[in-house]
Chain A
Amino acid sequence: MAPPPDTCAFTLRPLATLSPPSNSRTWQSVPHPTLPMVATACSDRTVRVYSLTSFTLLHSITGGHKRSVRCASWKPHTKGQSVLATGSFDASAGIWRRDERAGLEGNDADNNDDDDDDDDYQFSCILDGHESEIKSVAWSPSGQYLATCSRDKSVWIWEELEDDNFETIAVLNEHDGDVKCVAWHPEEDLLASSSYDDTVRLYREDSDDWQQVANIEGHGMTVWWVEFEGSGMAQRDFRAVKEGLAEEQKKQVEDMERSGPRLATCSDDCTVRIWRRKPKENSGPSNNAGMPSIIRSMNIDEEWIADAVLPQKHERAIYALSWSRKTGLIVSSGSDGKIIVYKEQWKNQLSNGVPPEEGATQDSNLTEWVVVAELFSSHDVFEVNHVCWAPRRDKGKRSEDEEVILSTGDDGEVRIWTLDEETTAS
């Protein structure tokens, strides 16, 4: 079932393994929004912060959690300090702070490794409330909200009033199974959550009351990961090339613009799926701006439709995917240890890439996703729990916006891969 390699346009080449690796399973690695470092959530109850320039350990954040640290998220737009939220199997979320003014270490991390004890991360507050393991945490793009979700089937939204004073502003109990992942819309205060109950749900605030606005069904099994497309991708991905587009293609681009960023999900059912919001009649590309709030929106429900099912390369559960903000490429990884990279392109009319999926509005769709890289045993024989794009920050970087892929495995290792153009014609 593995395709002849020459159809893949890229190869993944190992760049580095962050060292020293953990002695036990690592769950997730999240790159810092601005600084060249990555935080890795480990089952040994710690978070390890590595440098993306030297690939070495900068900090080991310990002592906060009584069980596995499952997930982490950097707060965006923090001045002079780094703020990290962690979620743990001990049912609590932690907020950690570190003053970054003392010489932005990212730039010269190498000679900064040693003094991490004096300027270490401080455990600044703990968010209690969930009844069981927290599985995912996510800051809203503005940094105003923090979303957490748990095996207790609930999604919580916290708002930080002032430093370290968090208020629960919503507890959403829509799912009837573990909530595996939460993600924020890049432009709107729109929250998505995916669950053990095979569904994905969307929430937004309606006159200071958060409500479910959509329930996306389609996956056959647990939905492990949910992630929105970057903002304004039309300028960056295949849509960037405007000339020579057929009418219907132009129309579709327009359509997509009006839908706004799409949603990608992956699941135990071994598929990666893309969902698109059905544009509301006479409402702008993004309807959060316009509406005067006095008028109660008669209907805030949204309809999200199946946009694509990516070619199925995984043989076991897909645990994570990442949608590049720079190139629009999607990368996925999972239990089978593979890392797959997908690219969206216009269908050439002769061959229509993906066979129409059940019920999905495939036919109308003029684009297709193709596999551009497939890597086996990326972590030896181990499962890969998480994969994501990050800007390349080491000396060897080839262009300003070159990206690398970070993969995080059961073997306790975080590996970094470069995406190299194949010379062979596809």
Chain B
Amino acid sequence: MEIDKDNANPTILNPSDLPSRRREPLAKQRDDGGSGLFDHLVPAYNYLNDPFDGPASSGDSDDGSVEDIDEQEIYDLISSISDPEHPLSLGSLAVVNLPDIFIQPPTSPRSAISTVLVEITPTITHCSLATVIGLGVRVRLEQALPPRFRVDVRIKKGTHSTDDAVNKQLGDKERVAAALENGTLMGVIRKMLSTCE
């Protein structure tokens, strides 16, 4: 029934093993080593904070600190894309991997353009859907990253029989743009991205 699939029985990683940011807000390593279990003993709305002294700023006020877009963030954006032929995420299939994501800062002070390079690893070397997957990744990033990023998606060297051809396609802005206007193809992509949050 599913013999037509390129790889009917892929290896699956466990979500817990996928790289991830520590869960917010516990993310900030507490100096006391605690997990903040007791932080909520006193309800958020208790009489001790008094609304009359201006609106109570509940700790998140905009400290100027900037959280830059980093490889992990890119990974989180694309790892949840689901594979076109399995109901599984590209992350859990190890198609996208954190070490294969590279962010290039602007090459000159006069330029504002950074580049993101993502190398994807198809589940098997002849996976005919490599292009679709790559397209999905590129589309996702073009939709989710600010325009100052240039997105390059490539098949990781030596993991795919026709990687050069695929890379050239994925690199061709015009083709990608046209693909996005192709309803049928976009249908597939939409389905893949529908699992992204």
**Residues in chain A within 8 A of chain B (CB atoms):** 1-2, 25, 43, 67-68, 70, 89, 132-133, 135, 151, 178, 180, 196, 221-222, 268, 315-317, 319, 335-338, 376-377, 380-383, 410-411
Chain B residues within an 8 Å CB radius of A411: 147
Contact of B108 among A180, A221, A376, A380 (CB under 8 A): A376
Contact of B113 among A1, A151, A268, A336 (CB under 8 A): A336
Contact of B111 among A132, A178, A377, A383 (CB under 8 A): A377
Do the beta carbons of B178 and A151 come within 8 Å of each other? yes
Roughly how many angstroms separate A2 CA and B110 CA in the complex, as a whole number? Answer: 9
Chain B residues within an 8 Å CB radius of A1: 107-108
With contacts A89-B178, A89-B181 taken as known, whether A383 is within 8 angstroms of B107 at the C-beta atoms is no
The SS class assigned to the A binding surface is loop
A89-B177, A377-B113, A382-B147 known; 17 new pairs, CB 8 Å cut-off, are A2-B108, A70-B174, A89-B181, A133-B178, A151-B178, A178-B175, A180-B174, A315-B111, A336-B111, A336-B150, A337-B113, A376-B110, A377-B112, A381-B146, A381-B147, A383-B173, A410-B147
Chain A residues within an 8 Å CB radius of B171: 268, 317
**Chain A, residue nearest B114 (CB):** A381
The SS class assigned to the B binding surface is loop
Roughly how many angstroms separate A245 CA and B188 CA in the complex, as a whole number? Answer: 64
CB distance from A106 to the nearest CB of B (A): 31
Do the beta carbons of A67 and B172 come within 8 Å of each other? no
Do the beta carbons of A68 and B110 come within 8 Å of each other? no
- Does B168 count as interface, using CB distance less than 8 angstroms? yes
Report B86-124 residues with CB < 8 Å from chain A CB: 107-108, 110-113
Number of chain B interface residues as a range? 10 to 19
Do the beta carbons of A335 and B150 come within 8 Å of each other? yes
CB distance from B169 to the nearest CB of A (A): 9
Chain B residues within an 8 Å CB radius of A222: 168, 172
Q: List 26 A-B contacts (CB under 8 A).
A: A1-B107, A2-B108, A2-B110, A25-B177, A43-B177, A68-B181, A132-B178, A151-B178, A178-B174, A196-B168, A221-B168, A268-B171, A315-B107, A337-B111, A337-B113, A376-B111, A377-B110, A377-B112, A377-B113, A381-B146, A381-B147, A381-B148, A382-B147, A383-B173, A410-B147, A411-B147
**Chain B, residue nearest A5 (CB):** B110
Chain A residues within an 8 Å CB radius of B146: 381
Roughly how many angstroms separate A317 CA and B113 CA in the complex, as a whole number? Answer: 14
Roughly how many angstroms separate A67 CA and B113 CA in the complex, as a whole number? Answer: 29
**Chain A, residue nearest B146 (CB):** A381
Chain B residues within an 8 Å CB radius of A376: 108, 110-111
Which 4 A-B pairs have CB atoms at the shortest separation, nearest pair first?
A381-B148, A376-B110, A67-B181, A133-B178
Roughly how many angstroms separate A196 CA and B173 CA in the complex, as a whole number? Answer: 12
CB distance from A68 to the nearest CB of B (A): 6
Roughly how many angstroms separate A337 CA and B147 CA in the complex, as a whole number? Answer: 11
Roughly how many angstroms separate A316 CA and B113 CA in the complex, as a whole number? Answer: 11
Roughly how many angstroms separate A292 CA and B168 CA in the complex, as a whole number? Answer: 46
Roughly how many angstroms separate A376 CA and B111 CA in the complex, as a whole number? Answer: 6
Roughly how many angstroms separate A19 CA and B129 CA in the complex, as a whole number? Answer: 42
Do the beta carbons of B172 and A196 come within 8 Å of each other? yes
Roughly how many angstroms separate A313 CA and B175 CA in the complex, as a whole number? Answer: 25
Report B142-164 residues with CB < 8 Å from chain A CB: 146-148, 150
Roughly how many angstroms separate A268 CA and B171 CA in the complex, as a whole number? Answer: 9
Roughly how many angstroms separate A383 CA and B149 CA in the complex, as a whole number? Answer: 10
CB distance from A149 to the nearest CB of B (A): 12
Chain A residues within an 8 Å CB radius of B148: 381
Chain A residues within an 8 Å CB radius of B174: 70, 133, 135, 178, 180
Do the beta carbons of B112 and A381 come within 8 Å of each other? yes
CB distance from B148 to the nearest CB of A (A): 4
**Chain B, residue nearest A180 (CB):** B174
CB distance from A69 to the nearest CB of B (A): 11
Do the beta carbons of A68 and B173 come within 8 Å of each other? no
With contacts A68-B181, A315-B107, A336-B113 taken as known, whether A151 is within 8 angstroms of B175 at the C-beta atoms is yes
Task: From B147, B168, B178, name the one whose CB has the most chain A CB atoms within 10 angstroms.
Answer: B178
CB distance from B90 to the nearest CB of A (A): 26
Chain A residues within an 8 Å CB radius of B112: 377, 380-381
Do the beta carbons of B108 and A381 come within 8 Å of each other? no
**Chain A, residue nearest B108 (CB):** A2
**Chain B, residue nearest A334 (CB):** B173
